[in-house]
Amino acid sequence: MSKTAKRLRAFLDAAPSVALVEVAEAKGSTPREKGAWMLVSPERIFGTIGGGQLEFMAIDSARAILKGSISPLEGEMPAKRAEGVTSGRSAQVVLSPVETTPPGGFAATLPSRGRETLTLDIPLGPEIGQCCGGRVEVAVRHVDEAMAADLVASAEISDAALPHVLVFGGGHVGHALASAFALLPLNVVVVETRADALDGMPAEIDVRLTPVPEEMVREAPSGSAVVVLTHDHALDFLIVAEALKRDDTGYVGMIGSKTKKATFRSWFLKTAGGSDEQYARLVCPIGGDAVKDKRPAVIAALAAAEIMTALALPAK
C-alpha cells in the first residue's frame, strides 16, 4: 500500500501548521467510530472522519483555530446548514477546553500527554443536513513538533503490523490486483520468476524476483494471505501446497476453474502429501464465481474484497 507513515510525513513536511481532528465520542449511528482521526492544514486534509457536513464543520473549525479565529475559551459556533435543508432549527457546536490523550488509533503506542483541546458536540440530524441520527464529539487541537513526531513514529509501527499479502504472479491479474491492493491498508509483495513481469508495478507495492517463489511462503509472517496466479500451473500447485501445509495462513487462493481445482486436489492428496482438511482451506477460483466477468480488473476487485473480508482488519 501507500504506507501511512510515508504519506503522513510528506503531509506534515508540506504544511505550515496542522490541527488534529479526532472522533472523541460516537453515539448511535455515526459515519466513523471513536478514535477515527484526520489532519487539517490551511490548504489540505489528511484522512477522514466520515465526510459530509460533520467533516466540513470540523475542517472549518480546525482552520479557524489555525488562523486564531477561535480561542480555547468556552463558547459557541453555529453549524453550517447543508444546501437544500429546510429545517428551521440551528445546530450549535459547543467548544470547551479539555485534556485528552493522543488519537485513539495510536493510543497503544503514543505517550499519554495532555493537550489543550476544543470539543465539538455535533448532532447528526436535520440541523446539519445529515441523517445518521447519532451524535459525535469531535476533538480539535494543534499539532506541535512533538506530537507530529509521535504520529509518524506510531504510523510506522502501525504500518509494520499491517497484514501481509503475497501475490505470486505478475501477469494481467497480478498487475490488476497490485493496483487494487495499493489503495488498501496492507503490506503487499508481488513475487515473480520473470523480471519483465514486475515492470510497471505500483510504487506502493513491494516486488521480489526469485527462482524459488515457494520459499517466500515458508518465510511469510503468520496470518499472511497467499494469492497464486502464476504463468505455470505446476508452479501454482507447488506454491499453493506450501501455503496449505501452513496452518497459520489467513487466506490461500488460486486463480483457476473447477477443473484446475479438481486436478490440484488429486495431485495434492496423492503426490504432495496433503490432507482433505488442508485442501478445504483453498479458495479457487479467487473472487468467487457469482460474477462471470473475467476481465483482470473485475477479478482483482472481487478478490481484493474477498481477501479483506478473510483478513478481517480492525477499523482505524
Q: How does pLDDT run across 107-125, given as a tens digit for each residue?
A: 322 333 334 678 888 877 6
Among 142, 159, 176, the domain boundary falls at 159
pTM of the model: 0.75
Arithmetic mean of pLDDT over the chain: 84
Q: Are residues 151 and 167 in the same domain?
A: no
DSSP for 85-119, written as a single string: -------EEEE-EEEE-S-GGGTTTS----EEEEE
| CA distances, 55 to each of 59, 102, 115, 129 (Å) | 6, 19, 22, 12
Using the 3D structure, point to which of 127, 159, 191 is the last residue of a domain: 159
**Is residue 90 a part of any domain in this protein?**
yes
Q: Is residue 316 part of a domain?
A: no
Amino acid 287: pLDDT:
95
- Domain of 177, in residue numbers: 162-311
Q: What's the whole-number mean pLDDT along residues 164-184?
A: 97
Q: Are 117 and 238 found together in one domain?
A: no
Query: Does position 101 have pLDDT exceeding 50, yes or no?
Result: no
Same domain assignment for residues 199 and 97 = no
Last residue of a domain, one of 159, 177, 198: 159
CA distance 187 to 204: 9
Domain count, the chain: 2
Q: What is the pLDDT of residues 236-281, one digit of tens each?
A: 999 999 999 999 999 999 999 999 999 999 999 999 999 999 999 9
Q: What is the pLDDT of residue 102?
A: 42
Flag whether pLDDT at 192 surpasses 90: yes
Residue 4 Cα to chain centre, angstroms? 9
The percent of residues in the chain predicted with pLDDT above 90, rounded, is 61
Number of other CB atoms surrounding residue 84 within 10 Å: 6
CATH of the domain at 231: 3.40.50.720
Cell of residue 226, nine digits: 497467499
